[in-house]
Amino acid sequence: MKKKNSYTEKISDFQYLKMPSIDDDIFYQKLHWGLNQLSPNQQMVFIATELDGYSFDELSQELNIPVGTLLSWKHRGVQKLKKLIRPEEFYQQN
């Protein structure tokens, strides 16, 4: 008899969990509100890298800003978004 490792068991158990649905309207409202709470630099780098598909290298070259600065702005912005927006606020009420 072949023994399953605990990692495999956890993955197979996870696929049967019913995940709650996310209300897209609420999600986009909260995201828009949260992005407006960020500094202009944090907004710009988040939107460019997450929504517009820029890489940090491309953005750095286009704006003549060091990659490290862009990374710092994004990191601070994401940390602020994590404090402002709670994922449980997006779930649909069934």
Phi, psi (degrees; rounded to nearest 5) at 22 = -100, 135
For the chain, domains (ranges, CATH) are 22-90 (1.10.10.10)
**In the predicted model, is pLDDT for residue 1 greater than 50?**
no
Q: Which alpha helices (H) appear in the chain, and where do they start and end?
A: 6-14, 24-36, 40-46, 56-63, 67-84
Render pLDDT for 15-38 as a digit per residue (tens, 0 to 9): 556 667 888 888 889 999 999 999
Query: pLDDT band for position 4 (50/70/90)?
Result: low
Does 46 have pLDDT greater than 90? yes
- Rounded to whole angstroms, how far apart are CA atoms 23 and 51? 19
> How many Cβ atoms sit within 10 Å of the Cβ of residue 74?
21
Predicted pLDDT of residue 8: 57
pLDDT at 6 over 80: no
62/83 Cα distance (integer angstroms): 30
Instruction: Give the end-to-end CA distance of the chain in Å, rounded to a whole number.
Output: 42
